[in-house]
Every structure is written in structure tokens, then in C-alpha cells.
Amino acid sequence: MRMRMRSLLKFVCLALLLGSWAFAQDPDAAGKSASAWLSIQNHADVVDLLVKYHDYGQYDYELKQVGTAAMDYLQKRVAEAKKGEKLAAVYDIDETALSNWTQMNTCGFCDYRTQAKYYPPLNDPAIVPVLELFRLAAKLGVKNFFITGRSEQQRDLTVKNLKSAGYDKWEQLMMRPDNDSDPARIFKPTQRQAILDSGYTIVLNIGDQASDLAGCCAERSFKLPNPFYLVP
């Protein structure tokens, strides 16, 4: 957090110096520069908005909306399935199957790597609409797959957390190899392709990032809200 604040202060100082230089070149530039800076919010104000979005119910409301739409679609798709068709549903983990809210809030919305290092996810609770979707899929005979950007070295911890949160009897947990550095938008489609190659039709893919849903190979994708961080 201190490093982030120092970086922000350096950025602000640099911007002020550039603004002073611009004013020296063009006195009218001062007003333009000031109006541009008015759009930049203080970090503490942004954190406060995120906490209110989470705590006042809007986040849960939007999660429920997406979860309900996904369940409605899944039931319709299963009813229309061809005889012998092997159906699969794919889930991201962080901010999709499980919530990292406690870690995010504790560290002031630091990045995921920092969270994992200083606040390892041991008992993350389920995101309830997704757990309900997972259980509905299992009941309807749809095989559940997890594809996550978490590394293989986190497998044991992740398996324990998923089971303690209520997820069980999934078909496969596909994790990033420890030496893999591909962004999610590249890594995840290759894993979905592997599911297709094994004979499944992926009828549903759900995640909280655009990169969870990018590329092939699902018939329908559902994006959960996540204003807390961005994964490319």
C-alpha cells in the first residue's frame, strides 16, 4: 500500500510539473488541465464507493440477476438436448464461484498476486447464485468444469476451499501450470477447447472478467459484475 501511494504521489508531482510547463507555453492551458484533473478521484473515495456497492446490496442484486438468467437458460438448453449429447458448464473461481471480498477489503483492493501472498484464500465463501447454478447443472446431468488462473501450486488449497464452500463432484479443475504466463484470454480458451475435444458441448461459461469469456468455445456466456479488479 505504501509503495502504491508513493507511486501515486510521484505521478501527481510529474503531472503538476507538466501542467506548469504547459502553462508557461500557453497560459490558457491551465484551465484545460484543471478541468481534466477534476475527473480523477482520490483512492480513498474510490474504495468507499466499492465498499458501498458491495455492502448496500447492489452487488448481490446484480449477481442474482445473472445467476437467474443462467439457470433459466441452462434448463431450456437441457430440455432441448439431443439424445446422447454430453453437456458441460464451465466456471471461473475467483469472484465467480468463490468470493475474495474479505481479502480485497482488508488490503484496500490490492492486486490478486498481493492478496494471494499476504492473504491466502483459505475459507472463501461461495457466491450463492453460482453455487445454485452449479448444483442445478449437476442435478440436470450437466458436467461441471472449473477453469481458473490460479496456479497448480494452489491446487490443494483450492480443492479444499471449493468443497468447504459447497462445491463437490465436479468433472475437472483446470489450473494454470506454474510456469505458464499466458494471459487469461489466451489460457482459458485453450482449456475450453480441450473440453470440446474430449466430446463435450459447452453450453454455458460463466465468469466475472471479459477475459474469462473471450475466445471459443461455449454456446452461451454469462458475465458477473466485478468492479473490484481487472484481469487481461
> pLDDT tens across 142-175, in order?
999 999 999 999 999 999 999 999 999 999 999 9
pTM of the model: 0.82
pLDDT digits (tens, 9 = 90+) for 1-49: 434 434 433 433 434 333 433 333 444 444 555 555 557 888 899 999 9
* The pLDDT of residue 192 is above 50: yes
C-alpha cell at 76: 431450456
Q: What angle do CA 92, 96, 98 make, to 5 degrees?
A: 105
| 3-class state of residue 70 by DSSP | helix
| Structural domain boundaries in the chain | 2-40, 63-223
User: Do β-strands 201-207 and 172-176 pair in parallel, antiparallel, or remain unpaired?
Assistant: unpaired
CATH number, domain 63-223, options 3.40.50.1980, 3.40.50.1000, 3.30.70.640, 1.10.443.10: 3.40.50.1000
Q: What is the pLDDT of residue 109?
A: 87
C-alpha cell at 116: 494471494
Q: What is the pLDDT of residue 38?
A: 58
| 3-class state of residue 145 by DSSP | strand
